[in-house]
Chain A
Amino acid sequence: MMEGQLQQLAASTLARIGEAATPEQLESVRVEVLGRKGTLAQISKDMGKIAAEERARVGKLLNAAKNELEGALDRRQSEFEQAALQARLDKEWIDVTLPAPGVRPGSLHPLTQIQQELEDLFISMGVAVLYGPEVETEYNNFDALNIPPDHPARDMQDTFWLSDGHCLRTHTSPVQVRGMARFGPPLLMIAPGRVFRNEEVDPSHEHTFYQLEGMMVDRNVSIANMLYFMKTLLRHIFKRDVTVRLRPGYFPFVEPGFELDIQCLICGGPGCPVCKQSGWVELLPCGLVHPNVLRMGGIDPDEWSGFAFGLGLTRLVMMRYAIDDIRHLQGGDLRFLRQF
Chain B
Amino acid sequence: MKFSYNWIQELVSGLDIAPVELMKRITIKTAECEGVEAVGAHFAAAVPARVLTVEPIGGSHNVKAVVDAGPLGERTVVCGAPNCRPGLTTVYIPSGTELEGRRIERRVVSGVESDGMLASAAELGINKDHEGIVVLDGPLPKPDHVIEVDNKSLTHRPDLWGHHGMAREVAAITGLALRDPVDLGRILKGEPVFGVDIEDLRLCPRYSALVVEGVKVGPSPLWLQQRLTAIGLNPINNIVDITNFVMAELAQPMHAFDAAKLTGQTIFVRNAKPGERMAALNGESYDLTPAALVIADAGGPIALAGVIGGMESSIGAATTRIVFESANFHAASVRRTSTRLKLRTDASIRFEKSQDPENTVRGMARAVELLAMVAPGARVVGGLSDRRAGFTPPPPIELPLEWLVRKLGREIAGADVRRILEALQFGVEEARPGVFSVAVPSWRATKDVSIKDDLVEEIGRMEGYATIDPKPPLVPAAPATENPQLHFFRALRRLCAAQGYNEVYNYSFLSEADVERFGLKAEAHVKVANPISVEQGLLRRTLIPGIWKNVEQNSKHFEAFRLFEIGFEIHGKQAQLPEETPHLCAAIYSRAGDAQQFYEAKRLAECLMPGCELRPAEARSYEHPSRAAELLWRGETMGRVFEFHPRHIETGRAVVLDVDLHAMERLTPADRRYRPIRKYPESAFDLSILAARQALVGDIEKQLRQLAGERLESIVFQRQYEGEPLPEGVKSVSYRLTVAAPDHTLSNEEVTAVRDRLIQGMQQLGYELRV
- Chain A residues whose C-beta falls within 8 Å of the C-beta of B27 in the assembled complex: 247
Question: Would A106 and B553 be within 8 Å (CB), given that A131-B483, A288-B453 are in contact?
Answer: no
Q: Is A15 an interface residue (CB 8 A)?
A: no
User: Which stretch (B127-135, B500-508, B654-662) binds chain A?
Assistant: B500-508
Question: Would A247 and B500 be within 8 Å (CB), given that A131-B485, A186-B476, A228-B473 are in contact?
Answer: no
Question: Would A107 and B532 be within 8 Å (CB), given that A123-B480, A149-B332, A255-B453 are in contact?
Answer: no
- Chain A residues whose C-beta falls within 8 Å of the C-beta of B460 in the assembled complex: 223, 256
Give the residue name and chain of the B residue nearest to A219 (CB). Answer: B474
- Chain A residues whose C-beta falls within 8 Å of the C-beta of B553 in the assembled complex: 332-333
Q: Is A250 an interface residue (CB 8 A)?
A: yes
Determine the distance from Cα of A255 to Cα of B447 in the docked complex, in whole angstroms: 13
Determine the distance from Cα of A196 to Cα of B507 in the docked complex, in whole angstroms: 10
- Chain A residues whose C-beta falls within 8 Å of the C-beta of B473 in the assembled complex: 216, 218, 221, 225, 228-229
When the two chains form their complex, are residues A112 and B466 in contact, meaning their CB atoms are under 8 A apart?
no
Chain B min CB distance to A108 (Å): 5
When the two chains form their complex, are residues B407 and A332 in contact, meaning their CB atoms are under 8 A apart?
no
Proximity string of chain A (215-240) to chain B, C-beta cutoff 8 Å, 1 when within and 0 when not:
01011111111011111000000000
- Chain A residues whose C-beta falls within 8 Å of the C-beta of B332 in the assembled complex: 149-151
When the two chains form their complex, are residues A248 and B153 in contact, meaning their CB atoms are under 8 A apart?
yes
When the two chains form their complex, are residues A247 and B497 in contact, meaning their CB atoms are under 8 A apart?
no
Q: Is A135 an interface residue (CB 8 A)?
A: yes
When the two chains form their complex, are residues A135 and B451 in contact, meaning their CB atoms are under 8 A apart?
no
Q: Is A330 an interface residue (CB 8 A)?
A: yes
Q: Is A168 an interface residue (CB 8 A)?
A: yes
Number of A interface residues in the complex (CB < 8 A): 88
When the two chains form their complex, are residues A156 and B155 in contact, meaning their CB atoms are under 8 A apart?
yes
Q: Is A91 an interface residue (CB 8 A)?
A: no
User: Which stretch (B115-123, B570-578, B697-705) binds chain A?
Assistant: B570-578
Determine the distance from Cα of A324 to Cα of B591 in the docked complex, in whole angstroms: 31
- Chain B residues whose C-beta falls within 8 Å of the C-beta of A122 in the assembled complex: 480
When the two chains form their complex, are residues A250 and B529 in contact, meaning their CB atoms are under 8 A apart?
no
Determine the distance from Cα of A194 to Cα of B506 in the docked complex, in whole angstroms: 11
Q: Is B6 an interface residue (CB 8 A)?
A: no
Chain B min CB distance to A105 (Å): 5
Give the residue name and chain of the B residue nearest to A116 (CB). Answer: B490
When the two chains form their complex, are residues B531 and A160 in contact, meaning their CB atoms are under 8 A apart?
yes
When the two chains form their complex, are residues A150 and B563 in contact, meaning their CB atoms are under 8 A apart?
no
Determine the distance from Cα of A334 to Cα of B554 in the docked complex, in whole angstroms: 7
Q: Is B730 an interface residue (CB 8 A)?
A: no
Chain B min CB distance to A199 (Å): 8
Number of B interface residues in the complex (CB < 8 A): 91
The listed residue (A104, A136, A250) touching B155 by CB distance below 8 A is A250
Determine the distance from Cα of A100 to Cα of B502 in the docked complex, in whole angstroms: 20
- Chain B residues whose C-beta falls within 8 Å of the C-beta of A201 in the assembled complex: 532
Give the residue name and chain of the B residue nearest to A201 (CB). Answer: B532
Q: Is A54 an interface residue (CB 8 A)?
A: no
When the two chains form their complex, are residues A126 and B480 in contact, meaning their CB atoms are under 8 A apart?
yes
Question: Would A207 and B536 be within 8 Å (CB), given that A104-B500, A106-B496, A332-B550 are in contact?
Answer: yes
Determine the distance from Cα of A222 to Cα of B474 in the docked complex, in whole angstroms: 11
When the two chains form their complex, are residues B153 and A135 in contact, meaning their CB atoms are under 8 A apart?
no
Give the residue name and chain of the A residue nearest to B457 (CB). Answer: A256
Q: Is B152 an interface residue (CB 8 A)?
A: yes
* Main DSSP-derived SS at the B contact region: mixed
Which of B29, B471, B570 has the most A CB atoms < 10 Å from its CB?
B471
When the two chains form their complex, are residues B456 and A255 in contact, meaning their CB atoms are under 8 A apart?
yes
Proximity string of chain B (1-33) to chain A, C-beta cutoff 8 Å, 1 when within and 0 when not:
000000000000000000000000001111110
Proximity string of chain B (325-337) to chain A, C-beta cutoff 8 Å, 1 when within and 0 when not:
0000001100110
Give the residue name and chain of the B residue nearest to A276 (CB). Answer: B35
Give the residue name and chain of the A residue nearest to B405 (CB). Answer: A222
When the two chains form their complex, are residues A222 and B465 in contact, meaning their CB atoms are under 8 A apart?
no
Chain A min CB distance to B340 (Å): 11
Chain A min CB distance to B565 (Å): 8
When the two chains form their complex, are residues B532 and A227 in contact, meaning their CB atoms are under 8 A apart?
no
Determine the distance from Cα of A216 to Cα of B580 in the docked complex, in whole angstroms: 27
Determine the distance from Cα of A265 to Cα of B619 in the docked complex, in whole angstroms: 55
When the two chains form their complex, are residues A156 and B152 in contact, meaning their CB atoms are under 8 A apart?
yes
Q: Is B276 an interface residue (CB 8 A)?
A: no
- Chain B residues whose C-beta falls within 8 Å of the C-beta of A245 in the assembled complex: 28, 465-466
Chain B min CB distance to A262 (Å): 14
When the two chains form their complex, are residues A128 and B493 in contact, meaning their CB atoms are under 8 A apart?
no
Q: Is A77 an interface residue (CB 8 A)?
A: no
When the two chains form their complex, are residues A135 and B483 in contact, meaning their CB atoms are under 8 A apart?
no
- Chain B residues whose C-beta falls within 8 Å of the C-beta of A108 in the assembled complex: 493, 497, 503
Question: Would A134 and B568 be within 8 Å (CB), given that A103-B499, A126-B478, A207-B532 are in contact?
Answer: yes
- Chain A residues whose C-beta falls within 8 Å of the C-beta of B152 in the assembled complex: 155-156, 250
Q: Is A152 an interface residue (CB 8 A)?
A: yes
Q: Is A208 an interface residue (CB 8 A)?
A: yes
Q: Is A166 an interface residue (CB 8 A)?
A: yes
Q: Is B479 an interface residue (CB 8 A)?
A: yes
Q: Is A143 an interface residue (CB 8 A)?
A: no
Q: Is B526 an interface residue (CB 8 A)?
A: yes
Chain B min CB distance to A233 (Å): 11
For residues 115 through 146 of chain A, which have their beta carbon under 8 Å from a beta carbon of chain B?
116, 119, 122-123, 126-131, 133-137
Question: Would A248 and B457 be within 8 Å (CB), given that A135-B570, A161-B530, A163-B528 are in contact?
Answer: yes
Chain A min CB distance to B614 (Å): 21
Q: Is B179 an interface residue (CB 8 A)?
A: no
Q: Is A153 an interface residue (CB 8 A)?
A: yes
Q: List 21 A-B contacts (CB under 8 A).
A: A105-B499, A106-B563, A108-B503, A111-B505, A126-B478, A133-B568, A136-B577, A151-B332, A163-B528, A166-B578, A186-B476, A218-B475, A221-B473, A223-B408, A223-B456, A224-B408, A225-B471, A227-B471, A255-B453, A288-B407, A334-B563
Which 9 residue pairs spanning A and B have beta carbons closest together? A224-B409, A222-B409, A256-B457, A150-B332, A228-B470, A103-B500, A246-B465, A163-B527, A225-B473
User: Chain B interface (Cβ within 8 Å of chain A)?
Assistant: 27-32, 152-157, 331-332, 335-336, 352-353, 406-410, 451, 453-454, 456-457, 460-461, 465-466, 468-481, 483, 485-486, 490, 493, 496-509, 526-532, 536, 539, 546, 549-550, 553-554, 557-558, 561-564, 568, 570, 572, 577-578, 580
* Seed contacts A107-B497, A198-B530; 12 additional CB < 8 Å A-B pairs: A106-B498, A106-B499, A109-B505, A123-B480, A134-B570, A163-B527, A186-B475, A186-B476, A219-B474, A247-B27, A250-B156, A337-B563
User: Chain A interface (Cβ within 8 Å of chain B)?
Assistant: 103-109, 111-112, 116, 119, 122-123, 126-131, 133-137, 149-153, 155-156, 159-164, 166, 168, 183, 186, 188, 194, 196, 198-201, 207-208, 216, 218-225, 227-231, 245-250, 252, 255-259, 288, 290-291, 305, 329-330, 332-335, 337-338
